[in-house]
Amino acid sequence: MKRPLAAITGGVTGIAVMSVLLLFLEVETRSNLAIFEAVARFAGMPGNVAFGFVLFVLAGVFAWPLAFMALEEYIPGGPDPATRGMVLAVVLWVVFVLTGRGDLSGGLLAIYVIFTLLAHLCYGFLLGAVYGRLTSGGPLEAERYDPTDVSQ
């Protein structure tokens, strides 16, 4: 599969899971975290939650995966693309937490920090794992039976 399409597929997978995790968090905290409001505020459009959600999805599906594809060789984490995806996600999480936490404090801030980190790690893992799987032969390719190999 072509690398850009593999990266976007990884982004779709990652953002789908991350969205569910963040929406679950929003429901559990009765929308006190306002995560998509934070994204809109970061983009300079505070109060526009729909814009924040659309920007969140577009960045997660296109911007970050294509940046990952371009920078993959330079991201630490060894040869495993899933690990490299998680490293990229931690960098994204740091920016997200620093710019998007708003007026949160106390226990709600701790919940926000922990759950957004977990959501970002899931996103990065899935982005890298799907990208790596689609751009390489994957483990099934390596384990394929070779009739000329007498050791099998």
Q: Tell which phi-psi region holds residue 74, choosing left (phi > 0), alpha (psi between -120 and 50) or beta.
A: alpha
Provide the pLDDT for residue 102: 67
Picking from 11-20, 41-50, 56-65, which range would have the lowest pLDDT averaged per residue?
41-50
DSSP one-letter string for 92-110: HHHHHHHHH-TT--HHHHH
Residue 140, pLDDT > 50, answer no
Provide the pLDDT for residue 146: 59
If pLDDT is split at 50, 70 and 90, which confidence band does 96 have? confident
Tell me the whole-structure pTM to 2 decimals: 0.83
